Amino acid sequence: MKLCIINGPNLNMLGIREPDIYGAKTYDDLVDFIRRACEEKGVECDIFQSNSEGDIVTKIQQTYGDAAGIVINPAAYTHTSVAILDALKAVGLPAVEVHISDVDSREDFRKISYAGMACEKRFSGLGFEGYRQAVFYLADKYG
Ligand code: DQA
């Protein structure tokens, strides 16, 4: 099975951005972590990061006919992007939402998740481990 893992804006700044919230590990560390989780489950993975909403929409569209599921951390676009929600609905693949921090215990504007409306599961506040749980969930259910 192949999964597409999509990371949104500023996640490439992990390790530099607000380490008290997001930790000291870098985006490369995250990619290594996700790759290891996928290897553990025998899952092929395509890991993508972009700071651009349109590029994320295009990447979601490209999963159609290519991947069996999507793990997505839309970052700030979580709370604003109907376009990402519509793209997830358009491809209709099982999707899981991940957030490194616990979005529900932060500012009120982070409590709204548009992308989450097209996701069947959410892992929030578990750090990198949320990605592992998301990969395992999709592999166990659809692999
Ligand atoms: C985030 C939470 C979002 O609210 C924030 O805008 C991010 C990262 C997280 O992984 O905790 O950029 O998605």
- pLDDT for the residue 55: 98
Kindly state if the Cβ of 10 falls inside 6 Å of ligand 1: yes
The end-to-end CA distance of the chain, in Å, is 6
- pLDDT for the residue 26: 98
> Which atom number of ligand 1 is nearest to the Cα of residue 98?
10
Judge residue 136's burial from the number of C-beta atoms within 10 Å of its C-beta, 0-12 exposed, 13-18 middle, 19 or more buried.
Answer: middle
Using DSSP bridges, classify how beta strands 95-99 and 121-124 pair: parallel, antiparallel or unpaired: parallel
- pLDDT for the residue 117: 98
22 is an active site residue: yes
The structure tokens 């996700």 sit at: 34
Kindly state if the Cβ of 110 falls inside 6 Å of ligand 1: yes
Kindly state if the Cβ of 83 falls inside 6 Å of ligand 1: no
**pTM score:** 0.98
- pLDDT for the residue 113: 98
Q: How far apart are CA 67 and CA 44, in angstroms?
A: 9
Instruction: List, in sequence order, every beta strand (DSSP E) within the chain.
Output: 2-7, 44-49, 69-73, 95-99, 121-124
Which domains, and CATH codes, for the chain? 2-142 (3.40.50.9100)
Q: How far apart are CA 134 and CA 137, in angstroms?
A: 5
Kindly give the confidence (pLDDT) of every residue in the chain, 143 residues in length, as a single tens digit, with 9 standing for 90 and above.
999 999 999 999 999 999 999 999 999 999 999 999 999 999 999 999 999 999 999 999 999 999 999 999 999 999 999 999 999 999 999 999 999 999 999 999 999 999 999 999 999 999 999 999 999 999 999 99
What are the C-alpha distances in Å from 100 to residues 41, 74, 79, 95, 138? 21, 11, 15, 17, 18
